[in-house]
Amino acid sequence: MTSEKDLVLIHFEGRPLAYARVESIAPDIKKNWYHVKLLILQDVPPRSVTWILKDVYIDGEEYTMDGKRMRLEKIVSPAEDDQSEDNEHEDPEPDKPAVQGEARVINLMDRMKK
The two most distant CA atoms of the chain are separated, in Å, by: 64
Q: What is the pLDDT of residue 18?
A: 94
Reading the chain (114 residues) residue by residue, the pLDDT tens digits are 899 999 999 999 999 999 999 999 999 999 999 999 999 998 788 899 999 999 999 999 999 999 999 999 999 988 766 555 555 555 555 555 555 566 667 677 666 655
Q: DSSP string covering the chain, please?
A: ---TT-EEEEEETTEEEEEEEEEEEEE-SSTTEEEEEEEESSSSS-EEEEEEEEHHHHTT--EEETTEEEEEEEE-PPPHHHHHHHHHT--S-TTSPPPTT------HHHHHH-
Angle at 10 between CA 39 and CA 65, to 5 degrees: 100
Q: What is the pLDDT of residue 84?
A: 54
Q: Where are the domains of the chain?
A: 7-75, 80-113
Q: What is the pLDDT of residue 94?
A: 55
Using CA atoms, how far apart are residues 7 and 39, in angstroms rounded to an integer? 9
Q: Look up the pTM and report it.
A: 0.67
